[in-house]
Amino acid sequence: MAKVTGGITTSHVPAIGAAIDHGKTGEDYWKPLFKGYEYVKEWAKKTKPDVVILVFNDHATAFDLNVVPTFALGCAEEYQPADEGWGPRKVPVVKGHPELAAHIAQSVVQDDFDLTIVNKMDVDHGLTVPMSLVFDQNEEWPCQVVPLAVNVVLYPPPSGKRCFNLGKALRKAIDSYPEDLNVQVWGTGGMSHQLQGPRAGFINSEFDNDFLDKFVDDPEALAEMPHIKYLREAGAEGIELVMWMVMRGAMDIAVDLKHRFYHVPASNTAVGHLVMENSVEDKA
């Protein structure tokens, strides 16, 4: 049977992708950030996921404001890097796993989550930047990917609790898939940041680190956090953190925290990053 063995959370700042693409990772500004991802690169080589369920938000590339699904599951064979206005990133085509995706759709919809099924979708920096951070720039990605796009752009976004429960439904679906697969779930986006208005550039490191603590140790309580607290404490775009809750719901309640990293600034954003594995007892 398929098994969720681990998970990653990371910010997906577009400027990080630009720094990688333009060879700036060794510059003084960027070097401390990329040092924080050295652990996950080696961890990914050791854990070798067959499939990554990658939770991200589309930035008006696959979906425009006329149609914005709350949860959209990619069921395609492959996904092209999106052109976000300056040409697609020169990264590999993302290979999907349509069989697992179809199984997830069947299971999760029967568990009363109304997923939008997407059979053609270009993927933007929300998905490709995390892939680059973990796997570097290769001729092809070393695993297949099932993209799960969450609306955190147009009001109303889903609650943290809804995302947490979707993660639980994902876990149930993956656990019932009959093929032996090593599956990881990645939650992306965040942390505190705001891109417009009087609070543009807003960063709340105290909130971010408290969120990281609770995310590991008390996710069920964290899932109850209302939208207004995300907005007040983490800025307008801090609502992206609800996407992390999908990943957390797919993991055991008790997890082995392998790596924690927090860095300010990266562009105008706080960067948070966690690496987790499910408990040894669960793997046995």
> Which residues are the active-site residues?
125, 193
Residue 199 in tokens? 């609070």
Cα distance between residue 282 and residue 252, in whole Å: 8
Cα distance between residue 107 and residue 169, in whole Å: 8
Cα distance between residue 96 and residue 79, in whole Å: 7
End-to-end CA distance of the chain: 14
Cα distance between residue 21 and residue 137, in whole Å: 9
Task: Quickly tell me which residue has 């297949």 as its tokens.
Answer: 144
Cα distance between residue 53 and residue 56, in whole Å: 10
Count of positions (residues) in the chain: 284
Residue 123 in tokens? 């993927």
